[in-house]
Structure 1
Amino acid sequence: MLISFLILGTTFSLRIWISVVPVIVGMILACYGDVENITIWSLTILISGCFASGLKIVMTKVLLSGSHRYHPFDLLQKVTPLCAIQLTPVILYLEYSGLRVDDSVNLSQWMVVFATGIMAFSLNIANFFTNRVVSPLTLTVAGNLKQVLTILLSIFIFSTKITPLNGIGIFVTILGGADYNRFFQKQKVLNEKL
């Protein structure tokens, strides 16, 4: 919300804040305890990642629906080489040893990398098309609900253990997302009547 305010000049009513705060608090509770030994460095990386994610969503909105009006495929074509340049050193440093082909070819790991790339590409396309028609805040709320769905799926598929506090966080996030959606549906109906 802060990045949207700073870049787009978007202001939010108290009613929107009332809907979004439970999503934020719920996500904090849903993820609480996942990291046992948090350090200043890891916290800095986490906050930087959150800031970068918010900046990406807002800037994508500007480029897809502002005066530039790029098509999602055009924007992806411009962004992908930059992402590849930024990520290649990280991949070579952190991941290459696990994927390196030495005496035995580890085809299954390379297939996982390829499938992950296809899924990431599909996610970016869906994200760009969605970002053209909804606000950055709506996309962020939906992203948080997607994270809750991921947690729920990991509980059912992998029998991931969660604490009661995590369960409360999941519940609060879902309620906040539902309230946010209900509010915007009412706003949409009111705008159509005008």
Structure 2
Amino acid sequence: MCVGATAGRALKTVLQGILLSSEDEKMNSMDLLRYMAPVAVLLLVPATLIMEREAFGVVATLAREDPNFIWILLCNSSMAYFVNLTNFLVTKHTSPLTLQVLGNAKGAVAVVVSILIFRNPVTFVGMLGYGITVAGVVLYGEAKKRSK
């Protein structure tokens, strides 16, 4: 599942890069987001209904119990919108590969912050994996500098 998710994310990012940088398409980040959002809804709502049958009922219950929940949900949705827009802008101005490397770096930073704040335990194999990730990010940065 992890390899499939990584491959799917990479394919999506490469397609974004092609659509955003192609002279024939002339697509900007907002247009791409406008076209991708409905497709994501069409894919994710049925998946949610299949895998988490009670999810919509839980949301309705939480909204009835606490009216602030709707504001929290709207804030979360807005943040997701801006994350996607930022991803598209980064892809347009750098490259799909740079976005993937930044995503891996973000994951490693999130783990370090999680360890520092929540004192989450990490195995030797986990530390080795995060070390390889950080080394890959550093090597990519060095390769990028040398190519200029």
The correspondence for 1:131, drawn from 67, 77, 91, is 91
Q: Which moved more, 1:101-110 or 1:147-156?
A: 101-110
Higher helix share: 2
Question: Could you say what the CA RMSD is over the residues aligned between the two structures, in angstroms?
Answer: 2.1
The correspondence for 2:7, drawn from 40, 51, 55, is 51
In structure 1, the residue matched to 2:73 is 113
User: Which segments of structure 1 move beyond 3 Å, counting only runs of 4 or more?
Assistant: 106-112
The runs of 5 or more residues in structure 1 that have no matched partner are 1-42, 189-194
Q: Does 1:75 align with 2:32?
A: yes
Change (3 A) 1:47 1:165: closer
Q: Does 1:101 align with 2:30?
A: no
Distance 1:103 1:182 in 2: 49
8 Å Cα contact 1:99-1:106 kept in structure 2: no
- Tell me the TM-score normalised to structure 1 length: 0.66
| SS of alignment partner, residue 160 of structure 1 | coil
Distance 1:102 1:170 in 2: 37
- Tell me the TM-score normalised to structure 2 length: 0.85
Distance 2:62 2:97 in 1: 47
| SS of alignment partner, residue 100 of structure 1 | helix
The correspondence for 2:126, drawn from 155, 166, 182, is 166
8 Å Cα contact 2:63-2:69 kept in structure 1: no
Change (3 A) 1:109 1:102: closer
Higher relative contact order (CA 8 A, sep 6+): 1
The correspondence for 2:46, drawn from 89, 109, 113, is 89
In structure 2, the residue matched to 1:157 is 117
Percent identity between the two aligned chains: 26
Distance 1:103 1:78 in 2: 29
The correspondence for 2:19, drawn from 48, 63, 77, is 63
